[in-house]
Amino acid sequence: MKIRLKEIADFKGNKVHYYSVYVDDEKYTLFEKFLLDNIESNRKQVNSILIRLTEMKKHYGAREHFFKMSEGKVGDGICALYEKDLRLYCIRFNNSIVLLGNGGIKRTRTYQEDDKLHAIVKCLQKVSTILDKHIKEEKDLIITEDNELISDNINLYDDESK
């Protein structure tokens, strides 16, 4: 898997930096796919999530209580922003850095019971693993003192994709 980070300029704030990723050679980021897939059919719920993202960036930061935490495996940072049955899966690094992923309507008890949502979370888990590896190595990706993700390399890979 190859990923490319993109800071979401429309949501840049003094409390939170939001990012998303292009996966492999996709035309849209994961967050853009979420918006494209859900804005028409779930406009009110999407708008509520967007308002919450705006409030976090301006006033509160990405505090844990805004998210449903521990949606993935322990330590991968996967969480969900939700409004009624709509889920936006994210990777929350800390109160200041959030990677916005994809999501959709959750009609089952767990996301694992829904093929689409399960695939979205699995994809984010791979993204989390890649980012974690590059951050720990401190060569391709760093978190600055201002809580921004900086990548010296446009494309970040998992070990199998090099």
pLDDT of residue 70: 87
Closest CA to 85 of 58, 45, 50: 45
Within the chain, residue ranges assigned H as helices are 30-38, 43-55, 115-137
Retrieve residue 143's tokens. 């978190």
Domain that holds residue 122: 2-161
pLDDT in tens, the chain (162 residues): 899 899 998 888 889 999 999 999 999 999 999 999 999 999 999 999 999 999 999 999 999 999 999 888 888 889 999 999 999 999 999 999 999 999 999 999 999 999 999 999 999 999 999 888 888 876 667 777 777 777 755 577 776 655
Give CA–CA dist 67/58, Å, rounded. Answer: 17
Give the 3-state secondary structure of residue 3.
strand
β-strand pairing of 97-105 with 17-23: parallel
Number of domains comprising the chain: 1
pLDDT of residue 47: 98
CA dist 141 → 61, 106, 131, 136 (Å): 22, 33, 8, 8
pLDDT of residue 152: 56
pLDDT of residue 150: 73
| Secondary structure letter of residue 69 according to DSSP | -
CA dist 9 → 13, 19, 20, 103, 137 (Å): 9, 9, 11, 20, 27
pLDDT of residue 103: 98
Question: For residues 41 and 103, is the Cβ–Cβ distance under 8 A?
Answer: no
The torsion angles phi and psi of 70, rounded to 5 degrees, stand at 60, 45
β-strand pairing of 78-83 with 86-92: antiparallel
Burial class of residue 15, CB neighbours in 10 A (0-12, 13-18, 19+)? middle
